Amino acid sequence: MVETTTTTMLDAQGLFPPPPPALAGTNLTELLRSGAVEVVIDPKFPQAIGISSILKLTVLFGNFQWEILRNDFDDSPFFTSDFPAAIEKTDDPRILNRIVPLAPNLALRIRPDHTLDKDRLDFSFANFQCHTRHISRQELVKLNCLLVRCAEETVFYRDDHPWVQPFIAKNRHYRIEPHTQELKTPTGRLLVSTQRVVVSTPPVEPTKASAR
């Protein structure tokens, strides 16, 4: 994002000084594309941004629609992990649901709403909506699959059923990564930033499993 929005766009507007003679007239955009110059961000900076946004995120998530998901299948409890908030794709590429397991038989699905005026939300949670439903076994399998794929290193489970270890082994080589898509518009470029679940390459170490 910094490379596109801050560097390339400023360069296109002529806001950088002319390149030195040693670069033979090559501008900053060309240097970035060739790999001769790289934008490096201190990893502590986005971490600090994330910490400072906690209250704003609390207001946002508290004004979204929540589904309380009840799991009635004792032989297939919900997993959880060291990253206990799986992401779920929706029909809108800008929106990802959050799946949060709370207990072996209980989880939340939080549905973001991009139509809400984010500058007018407050801690009264006036837009909050919630309903409860019992999920099917097919949906349960899908959700457990997401929970394992979004884990970082450790998956926790309650019962050591015969199917648990093979299920984790099948879905362990995945991770969440940030994804930014650049779209051209008549007046410039639009960046759509989100997350996605991808296959780990090369394969990571086997995900640890731990009973809870």
Phi and psi angles of residue 63, each rounded to the nearest 5 degrees, phi first: -110, 10
Reported as a single tens digit per residue, the pLDDT across 116-172 is 888 888 889 999 999 999 999 999 999 999 999 999 999 999 999 999 999 999 999
3-state secondary structure of 153: coil
Distance between the two ends of the chain, CA-based, in angstroms?
40
In Å, the largest CA–CA distance within the chain is 72
For the whole prediction, is pTM greater than 0.75? no
Is pLDDT at 13 greater than 80 in this prediction? Answer: no
Q: What single-letter DSSP state applies at residue 21?
A: G
Q: Of the candidates 193, 149, 154, 156, which has an alpha carbon nearest to the alpha carbon of residue 175?
A: 149
Is pLDDT at 209 greater than 90 in this prediction? Answer: no
Domain ranges of the chain: 1-40, 53-211
Reported as a single tens digit per residue, the pLDDT across 40-61 is 888 898 888 888 888 888 999 9
Report pLDDT for 162.
Answer: 95
Reported as a single tens digit per residue, the pLDDT across 18-37 is 777 777 767 777 877 787 77
Q: Of the candidates 96, 99, 97, 104, which has an alpha carbon nearest to the alpha carbon of residue 70?
A: 104
3-state secondary structure of 47: helix
Is pLDDT at 181 greater than 80 in this prediction? Answer: no
